[in-house]
Chains A and B, each alone.
Chain A
């Protein structure tokens, strides 16, 4: 059966096979050499799918093969494909069997059979099935205009628009009259095609986007402020270099977002509450965001717009924008699973030393402060003294862990002096490129606990205890001889500093190279800012006092840390806290 050239071919495939086995191994490291498809010239017996091969290997083997003498040829023939030939054949048979199995699963006539059908029967039944489909279906077989394809054009178009969740729109540039809309618009905007055809586009665009759309519709003459970006190289190109508007040729591309009215039943779309620009007008119209991509095209006007005025006939050609408008999902990925917000929850973002850099507006209902009152201050200023130890521990933990850290319930001081019980989930966000922690995101929720009255009394009693503690801490007996108080802000800073030290210790040449734009950037930029030292008095508002003696006289962060450590050492009660900080 095999022709003379067969052994050669089989040898070739032997190499293929080997390479195939290699690549299917577990260590796939995304090589830069993707596999390559052999052009398949032979049909019938020998079929190989796109087995990976390395050209070098093939070349080597072929050369080897060709150099041999006739005698050796025979031997090679035997050796070459006796052993692996079986394997090749087996794999080929397996593939064929799998395909046959899939085929029999798809054919209704093969379904009820108890035992597995043989290959020939399945194939014959497939032939019958196709004949039946041919008799029943239209499109693919009766469509003589277009070249035959697996899917008839109409259905392809349908599928396309389903997949794209969009509709085709052709708009006149000068008057924004909608000349054509595909049927699928009814699914997206809930207006029928008839309602929209002939209307002005601007009637349906969000008022704030009208200017934007007008700009996009402007004719293909380049306006001075237009810029084109060659997105593959990031270079801004000259406007005239690429656009050649000509009759029936592709004109300038357009791509923009706009909001269009839709009149869908609101009940089905409550998940769109975060839509941009949701209009809360009295009409039932809401807006959805569409991504419109397309290009400009020129047509003879007489054919397009039968309703055009007589004066229009002067202009022989009409500029139109042909675009596909796709519905843009409000979030194209899963909504953030890590931060779930409900009514009594709010989210904050802190720098690594605990200073608030972002506070959700919902925080106000919980803590009483407006965001701007809290921003820039350290979160430790609001924590109750009893919780400091555990929260500082969590702070350290979250900076070093990639997972979410849950705090226990703790008290947070509100604007009015009372405390509210919160429980938070923290996670540190690391920049994927530099692998450094950029900030901490905190999702805080209110825990219903004992009533406020009790909290206040606790606050009162803790004030007393705190005064004592303060006094203890003020007792000198320290190497510096300076009277000190614990500054809440410095707790966070100190923890951040530790992290900075870790980074400095761990920084290797490779990490330096990976950020060439300022590898000398400070790893903890915020520590260089002046402190906002605050006397830790519950009940008093925090003071932003910059001229505090003592701390500012320290030349380095390490020294400040040392002083604080020694302070803490002196207090027996806080011994365990010291432990956690080291």
Chain B
């Protein structure tokens, strides 16, 4: 009896072994069909192979959809891509030389944008990531991240906002833009080197993009996003920008001299004033969101809003802000320290609109310094 049982067990073990071998072979076939570098392919495990296959199929479906639909998905634009010209776009410049030919145009885009491309499915799967993602997240290569769900890598407090952005609205015709800030895990140290696994921190990413609707099958619909870390470094400031520092309640604690030529206020006049007082009331919610982002995520890009000019009227501006911590958090003091201030770089976008209009109390009579 036992011998029989033993024999049966042996047979089933063999069968199982054979099944597993067959399965491994099929997985091997699949991985060889994927357009990957050999070194990358060697390290893939089975779920990763499936994930990458899924990504590949989805991206192909997406691109086919783009081609066939042409510009139909976005009814707002009247111009189509002239096919002939597109074919010649491979060259960056009219004349080819050895120096310019190896220029990788795509790499150039990615470098200029200082970010990576992310294609998100409606359930939050990162279908595709451009390969410079490791430069920003440091954690892993593109192939290790692709196919995973974004909720595993982002700050839990931001999940609600991400979910909200993933929701597709049914309307076509108007391009659905997305613009939000989220925190993602990063293993990079402050100096940009890949730290060890124990030192992962949160990195703030500014994600902008649009929804790519797929009419044929909604499972292919996705979000195309460029994700850039905030803030950009070493930006040249022009005469049309000014910097300012604020307390955490957004009251001015410092403002540079340029504000006088741009808005008419002297820096001393602004100290202690709340930024909400100086802006058009209809933009209160825009500033509020900016402020909340700063408090929660420590960096933010405001949308466009209106700042009132001292002598009347207003200008359109946009601010890029960050919270400057008093002391850098370090290994010995991992808790976030007392924030020192908010630094804001404000770009003035327009000229003065309606210069004769006095909308606010400040514009009517001279304020006495507090």
A binds B: yes
Q: How far is the CB of A57 from chain B (nearest CB, A)?
A: 13
* A161–chain B nearest beta-carbon distance, Å: 7
Within 8 A of B (CB), among A93-152: 95-96, 99-100, 102-103, 105-107, 119-120, 123-124, 126-127, 129-131, 133-134, 137, 140-141, 146-151
> With A159-B119, A208-B351, A371-B358 in contact, do A228 and B232 touch (Cβ < 8 Å)?
no
B249 in contact with A434 (CB, 8 Å): yes
Q: Which residues of A147-166 are within 8 A (CB) of B?
A: 147-151, 153-165
Given A36-B200, A127-B29; A329-B113 close (CB under 8 Å): no
Give the size of the chain B interface in residues (CB under 8 angstroms): 156
Q: In this assembly, does B274 line the interface, its C-beta being within 8 Å of a C-beta of chain A? A: yes
Question: Which residue of chain B is the closest to A291 with respect to CB atoms?
Answer: B318
Please, which residue of chain A has its CB at the minimum distance from the CB of B155? A30
Beta-carbon nearest neighbor of A191 in chain B: B79
Choose the segment among A68-76, A300-308, A391-399, A467-475 that binds chain B (4+ C-beta atoms closer than 8 Å): A300-308
Is the C-beta of B58 less than 8 angstroms from some C-beta in chain A? yes
- Contact (Cβ within 8 A) A127 B30: yes
Q: Give 18 A-B pairs besides A155-B59, A339-B285, A517-B249 with Cβ atoms closer than 8 angstroms.
A: A42-B45, A43-B43, A146-B104, A164-B209, A164-B226, A183-B89, A190-B78, A192-B79, A229-B234, A231-B235, A269-B76, A324-B113, A328-B304, A331-B303, A336-B282, A339-B284, A375-B358, A433-B295
- Asked if B82 is at the interface (CB within 8 A of a chain A CB), the reply is yes
B364 touches A123 (CB 8 A): no
Known A-B contacts A130-B33, A190-B79; A228 and B237 likewise in contact (beta carbons under 8 Å): yes
Does A268 lie within 8 Å of B76, measured CB to CB? Answer: yes
Determine the chain B residues whose CB is within 8 A of the CB of A120 once the complex forms: 19, 22-23, 26
B281 A339 Cβ-Cβ under 8 A: yes
Interface residues of A in 425-473 (CB under 8 A from B): 429, 431-434, 438-439, 441
CB of A233 within 8 Å of the partner chain: yes
Binary contact readout B257-290 vs A (1 if CB under 8 angstroms, 0 otherwise)? 0000000000000001010110011111110110
A174 CB to closest chain B CB, in angstroms? 18
- Indicate if A496 sits at the interface (CB-CB under 8 A): no
Of all chain A residues, the one with the shortest Cβ separation from B59 is: A151
Contacts of B135 in A (CB 8 A): none
| Contact digits for A249-263, partner B, Cβ 8 Å, 1 yes 0 no | 010111111010000
Interface of B is mostly: mixed
Cβ-defined contact, B236 with A252, below 8 A: yes
Measured CB to CB, the closest approach of chain B to A540, in angstroms, equals 22
Q: A49-B47, A160-B110, A231-B322 are in contact. Are A333 and B286 (CB under 8 A)?
A: yes
Give A317-333 interface residues, CB cut-off 8 Å to B: 322-324, 326, 328-333
Cβ-defined partner of B364 (8 Å) among A99, A140, A376: A376
Q: In the assembled complex, which residues on chain A have CB atoms less than 8 Å from the CB atom of B24?
A: 44
Q: Shortest distance in angstroms between B36's beta carbon and chain A's nearest beta carbon?
A: 6
Binary flags per residue of A370-384, CB closer than 8 Å to B gives 1, else 0: 111001100000000
Chain A residue at minimal CB-CB distance from B325 = A233
Q: Which of B321-337 contact A (CB under 8 A)?
A: 322, 324, 334-336
Q: Is the CB of B237 within 8 A of A303?
A: no
Judge whether A517 and B117 touch: CB under 8 Å: no
Residue pairs across A and B with Cβ atoms less than 8 A apart, 29 shown, are A40-B45, A103-B53, A106-B58, A106-B219, A119-B23, A130-B30, A130-B33, A131-B33, A150-B128, A153-B105, A156-B130, A160-B110, A165-B208, A190-B77, A231-B234, A248-B99, A276-B353, A277-B353, A289-B349, A295-B112, A358-B280, A361-B357, A375-B360, A431-B276, A438-B277, A515-B249, A516-B247, A517-B247, A518-B251
Whether the Cβ atoms of A212 and B274 lie closer than 8 Å is: no
Is A420 engaged at the interface, CB distance under 8 Å to the other chain?
A: no
* Contact across chains for B247 and A276 when beta carbons are under 8 A apart: no
Nearest CB in chain B: distance from A498 CB, A: 22
A-B contact count (CB 8 A): 408
How many angstroms between the C-alpha atoms of A234 and B340 in the bound complex?
11
Contact, CB under 8 Å: B286 / A331: yes
Are B232 and A293 in contact, with the CB atoms below 8 A? yes
Complex Cα gap A566–B99 (Å): 89
Q: Is A281 an interface residue (CB 8 A)?
A: no
Least CB separation from A119: chain B residue: B23
Contacts of A432 in B (CB 8 A): 288, 291-292, 295
A130 touches B234 (CB 8 A): no
Quick one: given A232-B233, A276-B304, are A133 and B60 in contact (CB under 8 Å)?
Answer: yes
* Residues A289 and B304 in contact, CB atoms below 8 Å apart: yes
- Inter-chain CA distance A159–B26, complex, in Å, is 32
B92 CB–A CB distance under 8 Å = yes
Residues 312-365 of B at the A interface (beta carbon under 8 Å) = 315-316, 318, 320, 322, 324, 334-336, 338, 341, 343, 345, 347, 349-351, 353-354, 357-361, 363-365
